Structure 1
Amino acid sequence: MQDSTIRPLRGLATAAGAVGARPAGRADTGRAAYAAHGAKSLIAALLAWGGVAPWSPEGRPYLAVATALIMANAPTVYRSVTKAVQNVVARLAGLTLALVTAWLMGSTAGSVAAIAVIAVVVGPRRAVDDRLQVASTAVIALAATTAAPVGGLLIPAVQTLTGAVVGIVVNALVLPPLYLDESDSAVYGLARAMGTLLREMGSGLTERQLAARAHTWLHQARDLEKDLMDAEEQVRQADESLRWNPRCTAHARRKDGTYGEAFRTLRGVFLQVRGIARTLADNAHDDHTDHHLGQQFLDQYAEALRLAGTAVEEFAEPRPVTSSSDTAPRERLRGAIDGTLTWHDTMTDLIGRGTLTKPGAWHIYGSLMTDVERLLLDLDHANTP
C-alpha cells in the first residue's frame, strides 16, 4: 500500500483544515504495491551491481546487491536509513573485532571464543540482533584472514556501505512508501466499532434487555482494545512513513495526514465506552435491588447512547475537504444529555422536598452521565482549533 486519497475526519475538519488531497486510485493497490516493490528491487540491484562490480574481486558485488535490496524494500524511508546505519556500524564493529583478535591471538579457537565473549556478553543487552550481527561478521572475517590478506577484508565493508547508500536513495526517490490508507482504515474502523456498540447498548436499554445483554456489551467493549492497539500501530507506522519522505513536503500534511489527533480523541472515547459498559454490567447483576436503575432513566439514557453512537460514527465518516462541517448528530447528542440532566435535576428537587425517597442507584446515574458527557467533550475538543 503506497498512498491514498486524503479524507479528513468530520470531527477534525475545523482543527486540521485543508490538508491536501492524496493521489486517487485505491483500486488494485495490492498489485500496484507489488509492482512498485519489484521495480525498486530491480533498480537497486542494477545500480548496486553496476557501481560495485568494476572494483570488486572477480566482479562479484553480491554483498552490495543484497544490502541494496534490503534497504530499498524497507517499510519506510526512515527505517531504511536507520537500518542502514545499524547494519554498517555492526559490520564495521565486527570487522574491527576480527582484526584485533587476529592480530593479538591469530586465527585460533581462542580468537573465536574471545569474539563470542566480547560481542555477545560485553555488548548492550537490548541490542540482541546487533550483537549477533557483530559476532557473526567477526567470525566470518576471522576465517577469511586465513585465506586472504587482512587488507582484503575492507572490501566487504565498502560493498555493504555502497549497497546501503544505493538502497536508501532508491527507496527515497522511487515511490517512497506511505501507509496513509492503513492509518485511515484503522481509525475509521475503530470509530465505527465504538459507535455501533453505543447504538446497540441504547437499543438494548430501550428493549428492556439490560440484564440479558449487559455482559455481552462489556465483552465487546473490552474487545475494542484490540482495535485500539491496531489503530495505534497503523498511525505510528504512517507517521514514520512521512519522515524524510520526499512525497510529503508540506508541514501540515506531515502533522495531520495520519489522523494522529483523531486517534487520540478516539482513545479517550474508548475509555468512556468501556466505562459505560462496565457500569451497566455491574448494575444489571447487583444483588441490591434498590441499586437498580429506573426505567425512566434508562429510556432517556438509551436515547443519549444512540445519539452518541451516531456522533462517534459520524466522526469517522470521510468527506471532501471543502464541504462544511455538519455537527447535527453532535448537537442532538448534546440535546439528549441536556434532557437527561434536566430529568436528573427534577428528581433531585423532588427528593430534596421529600416527595420521593432517595434512590440507591443515584451514584450510578452520576457515573453514567459523567461518561457520556466526557465522550461529548472529547468530540467537541477535537473540533476546536
Structure 2
Amino acid sequence: MRNGRTEQAVRRVVRAVRLDLSAAAGSLRRACARPGRERDLAAQALKAALAAWLAWLIAGWWLHAPAAFVAPWVAVVLVESTVYRSLAHGLQQLGAITAGTVAATAVGLVLHSTAVAMAVVLPLALLLGHWRRLGSQGVYAATGALFVLTNGTVSVPTSADRIAAAVFGAGVGIAVNALVRPPLYLRDTRAVLRDATEEAHDILHAVADGLTSGRWDAEEAGAWHERALRLHRHVDEARSAVDWSRESLRGNLRRRGSVPLPGKGYDDAIAVLDYAAVHIAGVTRTVLEVAAEDRAAPRPHPGLARTYARFLCRTARALRLYSHSLFDAAREDELRAEVTDLRATLDTLRQELARSTTGHPDDLATYGTLLAQANRLTDHLLASAG
C-alpha cells in the first residue's frame, strides 16, 4: 500500500514538472515569436542583469569602491516594470537605506557591542520600514542597518561609502530602465479590455442559447451565474491594466509624442464593462432562480424566452462593437446602428412581457427583474454609443 502511494506521489510530481516545463517552453516560444507579456518579462530580466553588471563593472572593477557590492544589489532591484516606478522606488529605497545606515552607525559608535546595537537598532528600523512615505521599500531600512552592524568595524567613512554605492547603483538601475527599451504596456491594456469584453459577450450568448433551446436546468444556470460573478475580476484586471499603461508612459522615452496616453475612452470602456458585469450577474441570478427545482411558479413561455434571448444576443454584439470602436473609429456607425436595433428589440420585449404577465407574484417579480436589467443595460449602451 505504501509503495503504491509513493508511486502515485512520484507520478504526480513528474506530471507537475512536465506541465511546468511545457508551460516554460511555451512562454519561451511566444517570447521569440511575437511581442507580448513573455517578451516584456524576458527583456526586463536581461535589463536587470545588465544594470547589475554595469554597476559592478564601474564601482568594483574600475573604481575599486570599498562597498562596491551595494551598487549592483540596488541596481538590479530598481529595474522596475515602469520607468516611473523605478524612479519613485529608487528614491524611497535610498531614503530607507540611508536612514537605516545612519541609525546603525550612530548606535554602533556609542555601543561597542554588535549584539546590543542590533537589539536597539533593528526594532527602530523595522518600525521605520512601515512609514507610508517609504512604501514597499521600507524593508531596506533594516537591511541597511544590518549591513553596517554585521560587516566589521562601524565607522562613518565606511557607512558613507555604502550610501554612495547605493546612490550610484540606483542611478545605474534607473538609467538602464529608462534608456534601454523602456517598458510600454498599451498592447496589454487593449488585450485585457478585449478579453473582458469577449467574456461578457460569451456569457450573454451562452445564456441566450440556453433560453432559445429550452435548457433551463439549475446546474447550467448556476454555471452561467458563476461566470458572470467572475466577470468582475476581468473588469478589475482591465482597470488595473489601464492604470499600469498610464504609469508606463510617465517619463518613458519610447513614447516620443507618438504614443497617446490612454484617454477618457479607456475609462468609459471600464465603466461600461463594470456596469455590464453588474447587470449580467443580475440576469444570470434571475435565470438561476427561475431554474430552481423548488420554484412553484411557471417559467416564461418559449416565445418570451426566445425574445429575451434575441435581446441578450444583440446586447452581446453591441458590447463587442463598443470595444472595437475604441480602437477603430470606422466601427462607430456600426455600433450606433446595432444599439438602435437593440432599443427596438427591447421595445418588443417590453410588449411581450406585458402580455405574458399572469398576475402571479413570482411571475411579476421575475418579469420585472428581467425587464429592469434589460432597460438599464440598453440605456447605458445608448449613452456610451451616443
Fold shared, TM-score > 0.5 on shorter chain: yes
Distance (whole Å) between structure 1 residues aligned to residue 325 and residue 33 of structure 2: 17
Alpha carbons 2:59, 2:65 under 8 Å: kept: no
- Aligned position for 2:10: none
Which amino acid counterpart does residue 330 of structure 1 have in structure 2?
Answer: V
Deviation of 1:113 (Å): 0.3
Q: Residue 70 of structure 1: which of 77, 81, 100 is its match?
A: 77
Q: Which has the higher helix share?
A: 2
| TM-score, reference length from structure 2 | 0.79
Compared CA separation, residues 37 and 120, structure 1 to 2 (3 A): closer
Cα distance, 1:320 vs structure 2: 6.3
Identify which range, 153-162 or 103-112, moves more after superposition.
103-112
* Equivalent-residue separation in structure 2 for 1:129 and 1:89 (angstroms): 12
Equivalent pair of 2:101/2:148 in contact (CA under 8 Å): yes
Root-mean-square deviation (CA, aligned residues, Å) is: 3.2
Superposed displacement of residue 61, structure 1: 3.0
| Other-structure match for 2:168 | 162
Measured against aligned partners, the alpha-carbon deviations of 1:262-309 in whole angstroms (never above 9, x if no partner) come to 122111101111100001111222745336333332221111112112
Higher relative contact order (CA 8 A, sep 6+): 1
The 8 Å contact of residues 245 and 262 in structure 2, kept in 1 or not, is answered as: no
Q: Is the 8 A contact 1:172 1:245 kept in 2?
A: yes
Structure 1 residues 209 and 324: alpha-carbon distance in aligned structure 2, compared to 1, 3 A threshold: closer
The equivalent residue for 1:262 is 269
CA distance in 1, matches of 2:383, 2:124: 54
1:21-36 to 2 correspondences below 5 Å: 27-29=33-35, 33=40, 36=43
2:6 aligns with none
Aligned to 1:358: 359
1:152-188, Cα deviation, whole Å (9 max, x unpaired) = 2211111111111222122122221011222222111
- Please point out which of 343, 364, 372 is paired with 1:370: 372
Residue 21 of structure 1 corresponds to which residue in structure 2?
none
Give yes or no for contact 1:144–1:153 (8 Å, CA) kept in 2: no
> For each residue in 1:106-152, what CA deviation from the matched residue of structure 2 results, as whole angstroms up to 9, or x when unmatched?
23321110012222256537779645422232122123452x64312
Q: Which piece of structure 1 moves more, 300-309 or 310-319?
A: 310-319
> Would the alpha carbon gap of residues 268 and 172 (structure 1) be closer, same or farther in structure 2, given more than 3 Å must change?
same
SS of 1:259's partner is: helix
CA distance 1:340–1:248, change in 2 (3 Å) = same
Following the alignment from structure 1 to structure 2, what is the Cα–Cα distance between the partners of residues 307 and 55?
A: 69
**Count of aligned pairs between the two proteins:** 349
Distance 1:324 1:258 in 2: 14
Aligned to 1:383: 385
Question: Structure 1 residue 243 and structure 2 residue 250: aligned?
Answer: yes
Contact 1:98–1:138 (8 Å) recurs in 2:
yes
User: Which residue does the alignment assign to 2:114?
Assistant: 108
Of 367-376 and 255-264, deviating more is 255-264
Give the TM-score normalised by the residue count of structure 1: 0.79
**Separation of aligned partners in 1, 2:197 and 2:191:** 10
The aligned runs of 1:289-368 (5 Å cut-off) are: 289-290=296-297, 292-317=299-324, 321=328, 323-325=330-332, 326-327=334-335, 328-345=337-354, 357-360=358-361, 361-368=363-370
Q: Is the 8 A contact 2:82 2:247 kept in 1?
A: yes
Q: Secondary structure at the match of 2:150?
A: helix
From the superposition, tell whether residues 258 and 52 of structure 1 become closer, same or farther in structure 2 (CA, over 3 Å). farther
Measured in 2, the distance between the counterparts of 1:194 and 1:167 equals: 41
Task: Please list every run of 5 or more consecutive structure 1 residues that lacks an aligned counterpart in the other structure.
Answer: 1-24, 349-356
Instruction: Select between 260-269 and 192-201 the one with higher mean Cα deviation.
Output: 260-269
Alpha-carbon separation, structure 1, partners of 2:32 and 2:49: 24
* Conservation of the 8 A alpha-carbon contact between 2:225 and 2:285: yes
Counterpart check, 1:85 vs 2:86: no
What letter matches 1:339 in structure 2? Answer: T
243-252 or 156-165, which moves further after superposition?
A: 243-252
Provide closer, same or farther for how the CA distance between residues 27 and 319 of structure 1 changes in structure 2, counting only shifts above 3 A. Answer: farther
> % of aligned pairs identical?
26
Of the candidates 204, 209, 227, which is equivalent to residue 210 of structure 2?
204
Q: Deviations over 1:183-204 (max 9, x none)?
A: 2221111111111111121121
**Residues of 1 paired with 2:262 and 2:135: CA distance?**
33
Aligned to 1:244, what secondary structure does the other structure show? coil
- Give the counterpart of 2:201 among 195, 202, 215: 195
The whole-number CA distance in structure 1 between the counterparts of 2:257 and 2:127 is: 46
Shift of 1:346: 5.2
- Contact 1:199–1:307 (8 Å) recurs in 2: no
Aligned equivalent of 1:153, options 149, 156, 159: 159
